[in-house]
A = this chain, B = another copy of it.
């Protein structure tokens, strides 16, 4: 089954378009995992604490999310030990029946692009390796020819790609909206074309787009330009967007988009000013899901 159909089935099964972002800012982890931020501790212990926290967070939310999205930067801070933690976290999410979108934002040319795609989607040995992702985020800046190797690997493995189209940061218009017509329109044409071959039975393609939920008007317009493209919507919660802001990204009920929350769930205990991070994450997860169900169904 292709990625788009697997994702849509998982969203329907869970009744949830929630995407749990796994962004382990070392300094924000709960007290019991504080060794992660201790520069004097052995790096392996620090990375182990990161993985322990994220696996438990995944367990806590597994009944209410379809997908998790580990963010590679926070693992890379811990070097090779961080890479071990990444593999453990991805494998654990799969063992809980969740899909995994690797938020790696890779982009390069020719055989280098192919190597990145292989690294995360195909693997160098066992293609059933549970540490492989179901999809990754990719950066198109190097040009449309540089997506071809990613597309080839994704097609061969029935995996997905999410192309950065309009990011959630305040300055995303700087390059993405440059020109007339703006660059983002050209990107939408590319994304539609790249996705044509992999439109699944659900009517959506395995080539998705990242569109920040922080630009509500732009989201509605881009959804119109990308009728068969599954969207990944960052910007919910901590970055300011709410359930009504993300609604224009969906195509049919809970289908057509997944909504990311990272800090808003994982570090809810800091906002709630409690040391009980489990209860705070649990409540934040409930609030996110009920808010989205209310707006979308």
Tally of this chain's copies: 2
- Tell me how far the C-beta of A183 lies from the nearest C-beta in chain B, rounded to whole angstroms: 5
Give every chain B residue within 8 A of A164 (Cβ-Cβ).
Answer: 141-142
Q: Does A169 contact B (CB under 8 A)?
A: yes
Which of A87, A164, A173 has the largest number of chain B CB atoms within 10 A? Answer: A164
B112 touches A74 (CB 8 A): yes
Stretch in contact with the other chain, from A143-151, A197-205, A243-251: A143-151
B169 touches A115 (CB 8 A): no
- Tell me how far the C-beta of A132 lies from the nearest C-beta in chain B, rounded to whole angstroms: 9
Q: Does A220 contact B (CB under 8 A)?
A: no
B43 touches A176 (CB 8 A): no
A119 touches B175 (CB 8 A): no
A26 touches B77 (CB 8 A): no
Which of A26, A46, A126, A142 has the largest number of chain B CB atoms within 10 A? Answer: A142
A144 touches B174 (CB 8 A): yes
Q: Does A269 contact B (CB under 8 A)?
A: no
Give every chain B residue within 8 A of A83 (Cβ-Cβ).
Answer: 79-80, 82-83
Stretch in contact with the other chain, from A6-14, A60-68, A100-108, A273-281: A100-108
Q: Does A52 contact B (CB under 8 A)?
A: no
B105 touches A106 (CB 8 A): yes
Give every chain B residue within 8 A of A74 (Cβ-Cβ).
Answer: 112, 115
Chain A residues numbered 7-52 whose CB sits less than 8 Å from any CB in chain B: 23, 25-26, 39-40, 43, 46
Seen from chain A, the residues whose Cβ lies within 8 Å of a Cβ on chain B are: 23, 25-26, 39-40, 43, 46, 71, 73-74, 76-80, 82-84, 86-87, 105-113, 115-116, 118-120, 123-126, 131, 139-146, 164, 167-176, 178-180, 183, 186-187
